[in-house]
Amino acid sequence: MAGEIQSGMQCVEVEALLAEILDGSLHGATLTSFEAHQHSCAACRTMVEEAKAGMHWLKALDEAEPPRNLVHNILAQTIGALPSEHVPVKPRGEGWLERLKGRLAPMFAPIATPRFAMSFGMAFFSITMLLGIAGFHFADIRNWDLSSKGIRHTYYDTQARVMRYYENMRWVYQIESRVRDLRRAGTPDRSAQPQPQQQQPQQQEAPAPNPKNPSKSENRQPNRQRPNYSRDNGGPMLATFPAAMLAAIPQARQKGSQRTPSLSRLGSQNRRTA
């Protein structure tokens, strides 16, 4: 029993000395009196045996093996570096290009992936295709004039090209001609009557084309004016009307709209007479 005096040592003393007993650090008279007490006290004997068994269970446990990446993770979280044993040893005597590559490689590591390379390739292909469709050729770069005069010339040339392209678009001049028709319809008398009188002298002054022996300048003249005719949508045809026919138009309108020749019909008659 605890506290009972047996063989010169109390149970409380055994309990206090239990650590030393199990460590084997008891010597001399203390060890002798402990052994005598243990022999006569079953409770202390059991206690010592249990503690001894527990100690043996624990000491026999193997050391747990840490994960392989533990050191790597610790260093990455503290100093943000790899262990030195994992750092590849660079061969001696390498040039500056290799050293530069070695330094740049970690910087570009996040984008040096197949996925990024594929996206970059697709973007490059698309841009090249669009430039090709737009008429841009990389071979023309060497012919570029990068002087201030050349740049200014290129600017105005490009502007003029854009303007020409815009004005020659079908829907643009269709809208323009429609707007012009609407304006003319709003003011019929002023636009119909004085116009032939103003334009007739011009027509008379213009030299008549010689079908037998046409010169170069004569051949070019109608070609250059052709877009203007189409844009004016009937204007120039009115310029060729004879004055007598134009004077008859208001009278015909008064008689009746069914028998009145339309402007387009008059234009075709005029073309036949010319």
Indicate the residue among 51 and 245 with the shorter CB distance to another protein: 51
Indicate the residue among 52 and 164 with the shorter CB distance to another protein: 52
d(CA 81, CA 72): 8
Indicate the residue among 81 and 122 with the shorter CB distance to another protein: 81
The least distance separating another protein from the CB of residue 54, rounded to whole angstroms, comes to 3
The pair phi, psi for residue 269, each rounded to 5°, is: -65, -45
Reported in sequence order, the residue ranges of the chain that DSSP labels E, i.e. its strands, are 5-6, 9-10
Tokens 């093996």: give the residue.
65
Indicate the residue among 53 and 179 with the shorter CB distance to another protein: 53
Indicate the residue among 54 and 150 with the shorter CB distance to another protein: 54
d(CA 258, CA 42): 141
DSSP SS3 for 272: helix
- Copy the structure tokens of residue 21: 């007993």
Indicate the residue among 45 and 231 with the shorter CB distance to another protein: 45
Pairing of strands 9-10, 5-6: antiparallel
The least distance separating another protein from the CB of residue 71, rounded to whole angstroms, comes to 6
Cβ 2 vs Cβ 11: under 8 Å: yes
The least distance separating another protein from the CB of residue 78, rounded to whole angstroms, comes to 4
Q: In DSSP terms, which residues pair with 5 in a beta bridge?
A: 10
The least distance separating another protein from the CB of residue 16, rounded to whole angstroms, comes to 8
Indicate the residue among 55 and 104 with the shorter CB distance to another protein: 55
Q: DSSP of 244-264, one letter per residue? A: HHHHHHHHHHHH-TTTSPPHH
Tokens 């020749």: give the residue.
261
Indicate the residue among 52 and 153 with the shorter CB distance to another protein: 52
Q: In DSSP terms, which residues pair with 10 in a beta bridge?
A: 5
Q: What residue ranges bind another protein (CB under 8 A)?
A: 15-16, 18-19, 22, 47, 50-64, 66-67, 70-71, 73-75, 77-79, 81, 83-84
Which helix (H) or strand (E) covers residue 91, if one does? none
**Which of 200, 221, 201, 199 has its CA nearest to residue 209?**
221
DSSP SS3 for 137: coil
The least distance separating another protein from the CB of residue 9, rounded to whole angstroms, comes to 16
- How is residue 94 annotated by DSSP? -
The least distance separating another protein from the CB of residue 21, rounded to whole angstroms, comes to 10
The least distance separating another protein from the CB of residue 56, rounded to whole angstroms, comes to 4
The least distance separating another protein from the CB of residue 88, rounded to whole angstroms, comes to 16
